[in-house]
Structures are given as C-alpha cells and as structure tokens.
Structure 1
Amino acid sequence: MELRQLRYFVTVVDEGGFTRAAEKLHVAQPGVSAQIRQLERELGQPLLDRSGRAVRLTQAGSAVLPYARAALTAVDGARCAVEELTGLLRGSVAMGTLPSCAPLGVADLLASFHERHPGVEVTLTESDAGTLLDGVRDGGLDAALVAFGGSAPEGLATQTVLDEYLVAAVRPGDPLAGRDTVPLRALADRALISLPPGGGMRAILDQACTAEGITPRIAFEAGDPGVLADLASRGLGVAIVPESTARDRADLCGVPIVRPRLRGTVALAWRAAGPSGPAAQAFLDHARTSLAGFTVAAS
C-alpha cells in the first residue's frame, strides 16, 4: 500500500469522480484508475462503486476513507513539522464561510495569511451553515465562519465574531417604523426578506416561527444582509437582519423583534480536538487574531 494510492483514492472521493481527480492531481486519468485498482486488490475489496454515472463509496470504501485521510494528514503533518523547523511552513489549509460573512474581511484574512506563509495552499468554500459545520467536523475544512442560535455546535470550538439580536428592518414611513418593538406574530402577514434556507440567521427565524405556530411569508431571499437591507429600503418588505446592519443605514428603521427575541451568533469554528497540523494551526492563530477586531456583542 502506497501513500500515492491513498491520496488518489481520497481525491477521487472529494472531487466526485476520476476525471476531476486527475485534473486536481495533474496526472492522467488511467494512472489514477490503475493506482486505485491496485489498492483495491491489496485490500481485497472494491472501494468505489463505478456502476452509475457518479462514483460512490462502497461499504468497504466508507470504512477505509477516514483511515486514508488520517494517514495523509499524519504524513503532511510530519513534513510540515520538519519544514517549520527550517523556517518554511508548507501544507494546505481549507476554510469555509457563509456568503453573508464577506463583510467580515475574509478576503483580507486570506491575503494576509498568504503573504506570511506563501508556501501554504489555502482554499475557500462558500456554503450553508450545516454543510460548513459538517465539513469542519469530518476534517474537510480546518475552520469556518458559521452562524447559529443558542449554544456552540457539538464537537467544535468557537470564537464569537458577532453576537447580535435580529431586527425587522423597514424604510421610514412603514407602519412598523415608529414602533419600539414588534412581536414575531405581528410579522406573520408581512412580506419578509431573508437569507435563503440553510443560513444560520434563516434557521433562527424558521425555528422561532415554528415554535410560535407561524408560517413566514418569505417574499425575497438573498445571501448578503446588505442586499436584504437594500430591498427593504425600497419598500419591498420587512428585512430580517442583524441589528448592526439596520443601525448603519440611514434609509432604514430597525425594530427589535420580541416574543421571542431572535439572537444569532457568527463565529469562527474549528475542531475541538485541535488543528490537523502546523499549517492549520498557523492559519487558525492568524484567523482568530484577524477576526478579533470585528467582535460585536448583543446589548
């Protein structure tokens, strides 16, 4: 069994097929297929089901995958440890983020880390909160900016970046604009403007509506809270946004939602067991320092 075979196997799984894996590895596809077949012969079981249009893991493949990942991580960690002693950090880091977290300076964070450690390959994935949390837990992501309500997700360590109440944002002149607060039930018949399903802020709204027996009337969805605010400022509905988003807009009135109060947290999350290697540790230290300046707490 060779490390190359394990790397090819993991890449095929991650890329969803032999063609994309070969492109990722910069090798010919027949070479990837041959190495994985050799691995399967050594293990005595097929690891991949090739019968359909998409390559799928067999039961044996699912059992082998975490060990293959662990072996590659260990080798990469050993290599990085030696290179770190010589003053040159190498390796790879995978970060995830919600689309709505762009204003937190994600691009600057990645650029400044690359400037410090040009030998580390950094990748960025945008997705919904649930997918990102699963990615951090299973090792596909080293860290992610996620949103959630209540306590921190199980199995993860977090650093809070934003901790805010959600408000109903409307343009001046709207019937809600002069109110001090608005009960969630009072929004049942209003056209709401919200993040799409899967986002942490949307999950908080959906869970609260379910608990109150309300079916929200979502008229517009967008992945950026700034876009939600723009739509509300044009009178297209009530935007459910973080308090700071409405507070920074002269063309919006942010009305606190009560009964219940809706509160969300945006945090940097990573595995509670710690980073997978020196490169990931360096990135996590850099990210935690960079994001510390964005901290906003609910009042």
Structure 2
Amino acid sequence: MELRQLQYFVKVAKKEHVTQAAEELHVAQSAVSRQIHQLEQELGVDLFMQKGRNLHLTAVGQLFCSRVETILKDLDRAVNEVHEFIDPEQGEIRLGFPHSLGVHVIPSVVAEFRKLYPNVKFRFKQGMYPTLIRDVVSAEVDLAFISPFPENHNQVAGNVVLTEDLVAILPPGHPLANEQSIKLNQLKDDKFILFSKGYSLRPIVWHACLEAGFTPKIAFEGEETDTIRGLVAAGMGVSLLPEVALFQSFTLQPARVRISTPKVTRTIGLIHRADDKLPLVAQSFRIFLLEYFGLQPDTPPS
C-alpha cells in the first residue's frame, strides 16, 4: 500500500468523481483509476460504488476513509514538525476566526507577529461558533479565536483574551443618533437587523433585549457585519455590533451610540485542542497573542 494510493483515494472520496479528483491532483484520470483499483485489490473490497456519474463510498469505504484521513493528517503534522525542528520560523500556522474579527483584529495581530517572524506562513479559516469548535477538535486548525469563549468544553482549552462592548448602531437620521449613550429599551419600538441563526452575536443581542424588557422585532437577518452595518446606515433598522467590527470606513455609515443599560458585552477566546501539543510555531504564536492582549502566558499545553 502506497502513500499515493491513499492520497488519491481520499481525493476521490471527497470529489465523488475520478475526473475532478484527477484535475485537482494534476495527474491523468487513468493514473487515479489505476491506483484506486490496485488499492481495492490489495484490500480485497470495493471502496466505491457507482451512482449515476458519481462515485460513492461503500460502508467499508467510509470506515477506511475516516481512518486514512486521520493517518494523512498525522503524517502532515509529522512533516511540519520536522521542518519546524530544522527552522521553527519557517512553519505554517492554521488559524480559525469569526468573520467579525477579520476586519481589524486578525490583520493587526498577524502583521505584528510577522514583524518578529517574517517567514511564517498563515492559513486562515473563517467560520461560525460550532464550525470553529469542530475545526479545532478535528485538527483542521491549530488555534481559533472564538466568541463567546466556551467555558465548559472537554475537547478544547484556552483563554479569554478580550471582553468588548457592543454598541447600538442607528441610521444617521434616527432620533437617538446624536446621543452619547442610551438605554437599550429606548429601541424597543425599532425594527432590528440581526445575524442569522447560528451566529454567536445573535443570542447576545436577543438576550440583551429580553433583559431590557422587550422582544426585538426583526426586519432583516444577515451573515456579515458589513451587510448589517450597510442596512442600518440605509435606514432599514437598528442593530448592536462590537466596536471592533466598525473600524472600516465606508461612504454610508451608521451612527454608533453606547448602551448604558444593560451592559452588553461579548467574550473573545483563543482556543486549542485540549491535551494536545501544539506545533512549535503555533505555540510561539499563542504565547505572542496572550502577551499582545495583556495576559500572562501559562504553561504550554502538553
């Protein structure tokens, strides 16, 4: 059994098509088919079954694929560890984060880190809360910023690195747009623009409104801070966003007003797999981040 066979097998399993797999692998279709055939002969089982134009994994193929993916990930990590042993400043950091941090926080911390380690590469992956947890647990990423911080999760560990206020954003012509601060219940008659279900900011805003004594009336739902900010600026409703999501300057800007009651905040955490040793370069980045946010670096995870 050869490494190439396993790599081709996983690619075909993901694409469900030999031709598409061959195109991504930059090899001939016949080469992929031959390697898959040899692998099936060696194992003595059919790994795929034909369904229309696509190939689907058989039951034993699914079992084999899950094991092979783990093996290939471990192999990739082993190769990276060798490279880092030779030169830890030449490694790659796989970092996950929510969309709202992509405007200012991620570019800022990465730029500062690369001043110290200019040859380190980054692979970024954006996602919602459950996706980021899954990516950390499955070793798709080494580290992830996440909000809110998961206080009780036995498969991830980490630190709260930042607690930030959410502010009200209002159309420029809103009667409260020029106030220094407001109580959240002053917006009880307004239509709200919220994140779609599954985004961590949605329940934060929803529960803050309930705490203020009203249920928000939803006018629109969105999946990006830019969309929500733009809709508010266009007069379609009001919303609450973290200040970090309001750094960019656009022609159409909403007014931002602080909320005095109740205090609405979110925690941002930096997480990694529990009971798992980080690659050297990722551990260096983790220590840098803790110091960047004013925290004392603790004992590295082992």
* TM-score, structure 2 normalization: 0.72
Q: Describe the superposition over 1:241-280 as per-residue Cα deviations: whole angstroms up to 9, x where unpaired.
A: 125557999942122563xx6542233332113256x4xx
Q: Describe the superposition over 1:206-239 as per-residue Cα deviations: whole angstroms up to 9, x where unpaired.
A: 5677999946414252512x55445434543212
Aligned match of 1:238: 238
- Residues in 2 aligned to 1:210 and 1:57: alpha-carbon distance in whole angstroms: 48
Identical residues among aligned pairs (%): 28
Is residue 2:144 matched to residue 1:144?
yes
Aligned match of 2:224: 223
Aligned match of 1:86: 86
On the 8 A contact 1:147/1:199 being kept in 2, the answer is: no
Aligned match of 2:73: 73
* Helix, strand or coil at the partner of 1:269: strand
Give the 5 Å matches for 1:238-257: 238-243=238-243, 251-256=255-260
- Residues in 2 aligned to 1:181 and 1:26: alpha-carbon distance in whole angstroms: 60
Residues paired across the two proteins, number? 285
- Residues in 1 aligned to 2:261 and 2:247: alpha-carbon distance in whole angstroms: 14
Higher Cα Rg: structure 1 or 2?
2
CA RMSD of aligned residues (A): 4.1
Structure 1 residues 173, 71: closer, same or farther in 2, change over 3 A?
Answer: closer
Letter in 2 for 1:69: E
Aligned match of 1:105: 106
On the 8 A contact 1:49/1:58 being kept in 2, the answer is: yes
Structure 1 position 137, deviation (Å): 1.6
Give the 5 Å matches for 1:136-215: 136-148=136-148, 151=151, 153-171=153-171, 174-176=174-176, 178=179, 180-183=182-185, 189-205=189-205, 214=215
Aligned match of 2:118: 115
After the TM superposition, which of the residue ranges 200-209 and 27-36 deviates more from structure 2?
A: 200-209
- Residues in 2 aligned to 1:107 and 1:19: alpha-carbon distance in whole angstroms: 41
Structure 1 position 287, deviation (Å): 5.0
On the 8 A contact 2:88/2:281 being kept in 1, the answer is: no
Aligned match of 1:62: 62
Q: Describe the superposition over 1:74-132 as per-residue Cα deviations: whole angstroms up to 9, x where unpaired.
A: 33344344444433777765433322221113486289298323xx6x43233333223
The answer for unaligned runs of 5 or more in structure 2 is 296-302
- Residues in 2 aligned to 1:90 and 1:48: alpha-carbon distance in whole angstroms: 39
- Residues in 1 aligned to 2:257 and 2:217: alpha-carbon distance in whole angstroms: 21
- Residues in 1 aligned to 2:187 and 2:229: alpha-carbon distance in whole angstroms: 17
Aligned match of 1:274: 276
- Residues in 2 aligned to 1:43 and 1:58: alpha-carbon distance in whole angstroms: 13
On the 8 A contact 2:165/2:266 being kept in 1, the answer is: yes
Structure 1 residues 234, 198: closer, same or farther in 2, change over 3 A?
Answer: same
* Helix, strand or coil at the partner of 1:4: helix
Letter in 2 for 1:105: I
Structure 1 position 3, deviation (Å): 1.9
Aligned match of 2:35: 35
On the 8 A contact 2:84/2:281 being kept in 1, the answer is: no
Structure 1 position 203, deviation (Å): 4.2
